[in-house]
Amino acid sequence: MKHAIIERLTSAGHLDRIFIDGEWVRAEGQARAAVTDPSSEDVVAEIALGSRQDVAAAVAAARAAFAGWSVSSIQSRTALLDRVHQLILERAELFAEAISLEMGAAISVARSAQVPAGAAHIRVACDVMSRYPFVSQRDGITIAREAIGVCGLITPWNWPLYQITAKVGPALAAGCTVVLKPSELSPFSALLFAQVMQDAGAPPGVFNLVNGDGPEVGAALAEHPDVDMISITGSTRAGVLVAQAAAVTVKRVAQELGGKSPNVILPDADFARAVPAGVAAAFRNVGQSCSAPTRMIVPRERLAEVEQIARDAVARLVVGDPRSVQTTHGPVANRAQFNRVQDMIGVGIDEGARLVCGGPGRPAGLERGFYVRPTIFSDVHPKMRIAQEEIFGPVLSIIAYDSVDEAVAIANDTIYGLGAHVQGRDLDAARAVAARIRAGQVHINYPAWNAHAPFGGYKHSGNGREYGLEGLEEYLETKAILEHGEE
């Protein structure tokens, strides 16, 4: 089957090239990576993978461009990012089609969430930059916040555009230059984004893209002495490896890593609303979100009621062809993830958790593609692997509690601390529970997503923050200037 997005990228020559110093160039290495449509398991394209030599060329271009870009005016940076934002909106359908093809997102989700949220990060970066006090006075000291330098940005496959803009936007707003390594598993939206940067008029070297895998390109970025900062979103294992490689050159490392987020439903919550919304949040993007609330922690006396509401919510989901507007949930993104989810469903059964719905295998009628049955377990003990390990698929664990103190203890009984949810009619009580949960972002009663809200984790979920004001500050150094006037 031919795909319009592949034909577009092929005709532009982008599948065979990387973007360095304002130009599309051939990669020095000969390696290629197959890109698979997760809905059919068919290989739809091959992309060129960069090498360490390509990383070196991209870093050199970014270093040369840094001298000018770091002292450019706020107005010029705003003008560039405004053009980037507008081009993303103009090409929204192209991005949606690319994301649906490369990682299986339902086209309705790509259109309504993946692309708009990606565009929002660029807009917010502009908003924050325009108001930010890059130079301020405090106690007779001049405080200057300056761009940290050349930044290596490593992004994952699950929210491909969204994660790119969450890093590129604030990095460029801060005055940094960047080398982006997107996931080789979902490269199409990254190639489209590089074209946006070129068409928006990014000065040569300010933005560079090198496709590649972690052991080659990711490691080369982390180790490179002329890279001043690495920002990575990915698994905790990948984050540790990058931090170890970066330690030799003492560069800053910002990590947004794994999660096993709790959703504490308090006894006074509106269960008819809280439970279906909790299922939807856990299964958003087919469960492939690091902050997905995949542990639903509920009062024991309401357990049977919760199970029935959750079962009914899953029955309303439509799993199928991601390009159909009726589909709510497409396949998981790749074979490795499909195998991981299937293995963990088996682990849950073997551990003695009780299936509420779903289970192993593909949904009925879907014999090909990386489709997973939306699965809910109950009678889950907090120490079970399915309650402790990040599965990254549509698998929800329901855990019962006997007191609010126990609910908080269960919520915090994890190596992760990225996100959390709390549901309850009494807002003061809900806020008190939120204050006790060790996580970087807590949602009370399912508020709307806000691109200004800082996002990042405690514990093994990483360090540093993205989005909004704090996201900009990750890319800044602090300089104190003290003066003594001449007598």
CA distance 429 to 426: 5
Of 278, 336, 292, residue with least CA distance to 344 = 336
Annotate 224-257 with b (16+ C-beta within 10 A) or e (fewer).
beebbbbbbbbbbebbebbbebbeeeebbbbbbb
State whether the Cα torsion 180-186-191-192 is positive or negative. Answer: negative
CA distance 368 to 374: 16
Count of CB atoms situated within 10 Å of the CB of 285: 24
Q: Which residues are catalytic?
A: 256, 290
CA distance 189 to 194: 9
Write the DSSP string, 135-190: EEEETTEEEEEEE--EEEEE--SSSHHHHHHHHHHHHHHHT-EEEEE--TTS-HHH
CA distance 422 to 369: 35
Q: Is 215 in contact with 107 (CB distance < 8 Å)?
A: no
